[in-house]
A and B are shown apart, each in its own frame.
Chain A
């Protein structure tokens, strides 16, 4: 099973700032099959990024994903008020599918 470790656990930033979230895998993720999700309180998760760097339908271009192998990054170029939420990475390179523990992006 691939274990995903997200860091930091909490990121305190102000609107307009840049957010950089990390996801590290315990072994190489096949084909860079890594996705990112956003979850707001009381809501279901929303797909942001798949294939490490492809934006899902309707996702603003301030969200970008990068990385390969075992190290992946989600970057939010300029935080909007609606971006404060919890973010999860998920690998789908192999079964069982696994999620990271999440990074909370909170308002500073």
Chain B
């Protein structure tokens, strides 16, 4: 059974940093791309970033470029999101999602339950 468990969310002040983690199990982690997708309270889904199976190809939504950095550790079956210069509009539930393929430009076939990030002073 595929399991994706996010952690690292919490309350953070504007301008500060936070690092999210996602622990994956139940599939061959290094065969698939991985993603972060977020959902602001009461709003729709927004893709944040994706990373290919070997970290060779990475993509970001325009509003996250330069502030967020995605990475993975295949030896630890883990995905990460380093978020810097956080803004109030980054407040959201952040989902870890498994890609349907090795490359990151794909759909998301499994999702975690999310970790909540709240940016507020």
Contacts and interface: CB of A to CB of B under 8 A. Distances in A.
A93 B3 CA distance: 26
- Interface of A, secondary structure class, is loop
B47 interface: yes
B111 A96 contact: no
Contact of B44 (A33, A44, A46, A88): A88
Contacts of A94: 105
A47 B109 contact: yes
Interface residues of A, number: 24
Contacts, number: 61
Interface of B: 35, 44-47, 50, 59-62, 95, 100, 104-114
20 contacts: A1-B62, A33-B107, A44-B114, A45-B95, A46-B111, A47-B107, A88-B45, A90-B45, A90-B47, A92-B105, A92-B107, A94-B105, A96-B59, A96-B60, A96-B61, A97-B47, A97-B59, A99-B44, A99-B45, A100-B44
